[in-house]
Amino acid sequence: MSDKFREYKQLDLSQINKDVLKSWEEEDTFHKSISTREGNPTFVFYEGPPSANGMPGIHHVMARAIKDTFCRYKTMKGFRVHRKAGWDTHGLPVELSVEKSLGITKEDIGSKITVEEYNAACRREVMKYTKEWEQLTRQMGYWVNMDNPYITYDNRYIESVWWLLKQLFDKGLLYKGYTIQPYSPAAGTGLSSHELNQPGCYRDVKDTTAVAQFSVIRDEKSEFLYDGVDSPLYFMAWTTTPWTLPSNTALCVGPKITYVKVKSFNPYTGEPMTVILARDLLYSHFDPKNTELDFEDYKAGDKKIPYEVLAEYTGEELTGVNYEQLIGWVKPDGDAFRVITGDFVTTEDGTGIVHIAPTFGADDDRVAKQSGIAPLLVIDKDGKNQPLVDKTGRFFQIEKMDDAFVASNVNTASYAEFSGRFVKNAYDEGLTDDDNTVDVDISVMLKKESKAFKVEKHVHSYPHCWRTDKPVLYYPLDSWFVRTTAVKDKLIALNNTINWKPQSTGVGRFGNWLENLVDWNLSRSRFWGTPLPIWRTEDGTQTKCFGSVEDLYGEIEKAVAAGFMTKNPYEGFVPGEFEDSNYDKIDLHRPYVDDIVLVADNGEKMFREPDLIDVWFDSGAMPYAQNHYPFENKAKYQPEKGRGVFPADFIAEGVDQTRGWFFTLHAIATMIDDSVAFRNIISNGLVLDKNGNKMSKRLGNAVDPFETIEKYGSDPLRWYMLTNSQPWDNLKFDEGGVDEVRRKFFGTLYNTYNFFALYANVDGFCYKEEEIPVEGRPEIDRWVISLLNSLIKEVGESLENYEPTRAGRAISEFVNENLSNWFVRLSRKRYWGGEYDADKISAYQTLYTCLVTVAKLSAPLAPFYSDLLFTDLNKLTGKETDQSVHLAEFPTADESLIDKDLEQKMDIAQRASSMILGLRRKEKLKVRQPLAKIMVPVLNGRFKEQFEAVEGIILSEVNVKEVEYLTDTAGIIKKKIKPNFKTLGPKYGKIMKQIAASVAQFSQADISTLEKSDSFKLTVNDQEVELTTADVEITTEDIPGWLVSSEGELTIALDINISEELKQEGIAREFINKIQNIRKDSNFEVTDRISLKIEKNDFYNQAVSNYKDYISSQTLSADLTLVDSMENGMGQLVEIDQNVEARVFVEKKG
């Protein structure tokens, strides 16, 4: 082992990244960081599984830097941190890329390619970029346990998911229902939103639209509407799909929209009527010019129709009013024909009242369910509910309906004409666009009944099926649901216990989402995913859900015995054995599970429900499935307090996961365990390019994380990302910012270390001396130690509160401003030359302590350099027993070392120094030229005491000999007074302005009266005002006749007269500086001794001889001689003053 601190020529963070990684691997540091915490309380982190079928991007570094920071922090706080890596492996993107790379479609599975091959291809595809992900994880220093990651396609993972589904099933939270989805009657298939968004699917078509009149039922709920009404009263609603009107069961209004009641005549029949519609849309339906027409003059058939607005109502008021069914073909079962509210209603077109047909619109279905409105359904011969339009796109035929239902609910006389008709002509091969559509016929029917206000053709954009080019219908399709609405209150209550960062995402985005919760649609008609473990008989009366392979296995055996299957496809599997070898024998994916036909308790065949489940369920199940719970690791879920793996203490992902992973985790944990899944959460914002645009490969503005890490190392990248903006704000990623962090923070820290190492090596300091008690150290040491402890407190609190930005910024501020720019700069002289005495040792100990503490504080954020710094320091001193900073304990602040008074004093010193340097600059006085004195006005004793304490620091920093304190009595200080708004404002309120004006008028005498008696009375607006010194701020701003600088309460004057003696000292310092430069240029060692010759010159002869000893000691010269003339070419010319050059010869001695 070397006996010196390592010194560096330059800071290469990229190389350090590699070196430190290597040592982590050699020392197995990551595993040690867990094993050394064995038996301690756990800190549980859940890794949101990424999908490895895409390359990792720079935004992944962001999220993972956050995750890693807190896991490292908690490790240093002594917790045993659980963080298991995982992979999200299911879903449509995988299927699509497999099909693309193999050049096949789903139909080819089983023919062109075997199921086994397809399955294998999916497994390969989904792990395509595993290597890159692992590499990024490693290089960026993200410590997550990759030894045994959870993989969502793994049979054991699926088994846990099945177990969860079974729990939901048993609790009655899993049911089969329907949602409104795009459906192509021509192709006979449902369409995904993905398919609908393909180019060309949305097309402008011309359809018959109708504004229909819904007749209000007069009762106690609607009575208020009848004031002044003498004709039938209607709600007006517009539709572009009149064929949905027979399925209407509600009308929807916007709660905050204003509606008007208008008296007029029906344009088609001329019958008097009163209608209700949105005020904003009045003139779209009634010509403003007609408002002056006389009702008496109107005859049926007139083009110009008079109208009159009778009253206004808000949507809220209209809610609950009942109306008559518009088209009485089929009676719905349940509550219907009522006005409800919906937040999606606008007054952009139509009437501001939306016709609701729950079976044919997603919004319709949603608001109807929320308001308890029944959909309009018919019952078929099998006793199943069906919408009024069947899957081929025609009105449900009467003969296919249940007879009893027809008798009780169907008006066959009026419906017969429409029964079996296609709702779009495109579906009927015998029809063309020229034939009358159902829409037209329904509109004509309404016209005749005075129920149509306006029927017209209208061009609008409508989705079409990409396979058949025919229009799509929104249609209720079977789906399996999780009844999340049943636990809505619990979800909300538990959410309120979660610490969200930022809070707004939790109470706002997530909270609102929970408030408007609908049941979770689990079904996906896909191939590569977790199959629903549900088998049903064909008539749907018998259902079985399986929560383990063992249960399914047993049922298969029964089915084989019953002769439904020839053999058990999972033959050889041993229930209860959890090794890879056993689970490799089976595959729970499609289509293997589809081939399983089971036997129901009544002996009928049971077939699997063909759907897969939402991949979000997979990832939301990870708290359980990652450990194959409850089949294995059960004990970890019922632990003594603080020792388990559930729930998570912390998770972090992008804010885009709010309704994805965050929700599914929360929902599943709530339903299964009545518990939160996570206690603390950071949802981070996006990483944009430096112009604020979204990064995309297409635009070429995506930043490659590997290149960035290679170039700068991970630390500057992580630090930049964590400190540039709060994690939850979007980050405008600018490479220049990473470089700035490298220079400003890491560069300065490195410089500070190198400075330390340089002199510590010269003096042989290796912290073997007794620790000098802090109270025995000089002011500046105590000051920096005080700040250091304040910093420890702040960083600790910030990380405790999941605020990495505050932590990083505080560390950076400390290193740059306080440690480097003040402590080291002021203490430099203490390190070089001189005795190895207590002061010097104190200087080393203090700086060492600061450096090693900064290493520990920054370790969670910048794991690489901090570890190098820590080990470089510790290798020699052996002060710490831990091999790595990541195994060390996080520092705790020693409150007794925090000295706010001292911090204030040093603040004065810093400000005073900078002011004096400013004055010197103004007068073009070099700092090397000593000056005689500064003068400081003293307003109170405390200030004088503080200034005196740092007097020496200021004087040496600005090269001035003494301080003169000016007290009031001298009468040369001019004072300035300013009211203290914070104390006066609440007391005097309205007359504040006048008080401020009066105070501004105070004379010097007034001010001194106030100071002496601590009271001053004035009258403002006939009100007596008494001021005390606490109500004002008194400062000095001028010392007449002197060069003065003033900042806040601090005022300093500088004496710029230079005596002969000062002049000579200045010359001496000038020589020292020049000689030092020569030493350095000649590459002398810091410790080399020299001999010195200076050619005589009357300008400086006296100065050199007077300050001979001073010059010699500073430059380590053994002899200094003034010579008459230098031999030719010897020595070099240096400038001592303007136009004065000296020839100096420097020679290394011995």
Residues 162-221 that bind RNA (CB under 7 A): 180, 193, 209
Of 238, 616, 719, 783, the catalytic one is: 616
Chain positions 720 to 739 lying near RNA, rule: CB under 7 A, are 724-726, 728-732, 734, 736-737
* Contact flag: residue 918 with RNA (CB under 7 A): yes
Which residue(s) pair with 177 in the sheet?
Answer: 479
**E strand intervals along 587-668:** 598-599, 605-608, 612-613, 648-654
- Distinct helix (H) and strand (E) counts, the chain: 39, 41
Contact range with RNA by CB under 7 A, out of 223-231, 306-314, 913-921, 1053-1061: 913-921
Chain positions 1099 to 1128 lying near RNA, rule: CB under 7 A, are 1115-1116
Give whichever of 242 and 306 is closer to RNA, judged by the CB atom. Answer: 242
**Nearest-approach distance from CB 1044 to RNA, in angstroms:** 13
Chain positions 781 to 840 lying near RNA, rule: CB under 7 A, are 805, 816, 820-821, 824-825, 828, 832
Residue 1014 bears catalytic tag: no
Q: What is the dihedral of CA 610, 616, 620, 625, to 10 degrees?
A: 50
* Contact flag: residue 704 with RNA (CB under 7 A): no
Q: What angle (nearest 5°) sits at the alpha carbon of residue 32, between those of residues 20 and 156?
A: 110
**Nearest-approach distance from CB 1083 to RNA, in angstroms:** 9
Can you give the three-state secondary structure of 765-802, one letter per residue? CCCCCCCCCHHHCCHHHHHHHHHHHHHHHHHHHHHHCC
Chain positions 761 to 790 lying near RNA, rule: CB under 7 A, are none
d(CA 397, CA 422): 11
**Nearest-approach distance from CB 748 to RNA, in angstroms:** 6
Q: What angle (nearest 5°) sits at the alpha carbon of residue 289, between those of residues 287 and 295?
A: 90
C-beta pairs of 216-220 under 8 Å, 24+ apart in sequence: 216/276, 216/321, 216/322, 216/323, 216/324, 217/321, 217/322, 217/323, 217/324, 217/337, 219/322
Among 319, 754, 1008, 1112, binds RNA (CB under 7 A): 754
Give whichever of 383 and 692 is closer to RNA, judged by the CB atom. Answer: 692
* Contact flag: residue 740 with RNA (CB under 7 A): yes
Name which of 1044, 1067, 1039, 1064 is nearest 1056 in CA terms: 1044
* Contact flag: residue 241 with RNA (CB under 7 A): yes
Give whichever of 223 and 1135 is closer to RNA, judged by the CB atom. Answer: 1135
Give whichever of 415 and 616 is closer to RNA, judged by the CB atom. Answer: 616
Dig out the tokens for 1051 from the structure: 């005022």
**Nearest-approach distance from CB 1090 to RNA, in angstroms:** 8
- Sorted by sequence, the CB contacts under 8 Å of residue 101 that are 6+ apart come out as 121, 125
**Nearest-approach distance from CB 1035 to RNA, in angstroms:** 8
Give whichever of 301 and 736 is closer to RNA, judged by the CB atom. Answer: 736
Chain positions 924 to 983 lying near RNA, rule: CB under 7 A, are 926-928, 978, 981-982
Residues across the chain: 1150
Give whichever of 22 and 922 is closer to RNA, judged by the CB atom. Answer: 922
d(CA 588, CA 572): 15
Phi, psi of 663 (to 5 degrees): -70, -45
* Contact flag: residue 865 with RNA (CB under 7 A): no
Chain positions 495 to 554 lying near RNA, rule: CB under 7 A, are 502, 504-505, 508-509, 512
Dig out the tokens for 642 from the structure: 């603080």
Interstrand relation of 731-732 and 42-46 (parallel, antiparallel or unpaired) = unpaired
Of 171, 256, 457, 694, the catalytic one is: 694
Chain positions 613 to 672 lying near RNA, rule: CB under 7 A, are 655-656, 658-660
Of 24, 49, 329, 1074, the catalytic one is: 49
Kindly provide the b/e burial profile for residues 433-452, where b requires at least 16 CB atoms within 10 angstroms of the residue's own CB.
eeeebbbbbbbbbbbeebbb
**Nearest-approach distance from CB 320 to RNA, in angstroms:** 19
Give whichever of 648 and 958 is closer to RNA, judged by the CB atom. Answer: 958
3-state secondary structure of 760: helix
* Contact flag: residue 408 with RNA (CB under 7 A): no
Name which of 246, 272, 408, 386 is nearest 397 in CA terms: 386
* Contact flag: residue 685 with RNA (CB under 7 A): yes
Dig out the tokens for 376 from the structure: 């309009």
Give whichever of 198 and 512 is closer to RNA, judged by the CB atom. Answer: 512
Residue 49 bears catalytic tag: yes
Chain positions 988 to 1047 lying near RNA, rule: CB under 7 A, are 989-990, 992-993, 996, 1047
**Nearest-approach distance from CB 304 to RNA, in angstroms:** 27
Contact range with RNA by CB under 7 A, out of 109-117, 287-295, 389-397, 1082-1090: 1082-1090
Whether the CB-CB separation of 544 and 555 falls below 8 Å is answered with yes
Of 87, 480, 500, 661, the catalytic one is: 661
* Contact flag: residue 1079 with RNA (CB under 7 A): yes
Among 146, 330, 345, 772, binds RNA (CB under 7 A): 345
Residue 88 bears catalytic tag: yes
**Nearest-approach distance from CB 1040 to RNA, in angstroms:** 19
Interstrand relation of 308-314 and 258-265 (parallel, antiparallel or unpaired) = antiparallel
Q: Count the Cβ atoms, other than its own, within 10 Å of residue 103.
A: 9
d(CA 349, CA 335): 28
Chain positions 425 to 484 lying near RNA, rule: CB under 7 A, are 460, 462-463, 474
Name which of 65, 26, 15 is nearest 705 in CA terms: 65
Among 127, 309, 917, 949, binds RNA (CB under 7 A): 917
* Contact flag: residue 1081 with RNA (CB under 7 A): no
Give whichever of 393 and 647 is closer to RNA, judged by the CB atom. Answer: 393
Residues serving a catalytic function are 49, 88, 616, 657, 661, 694, 697
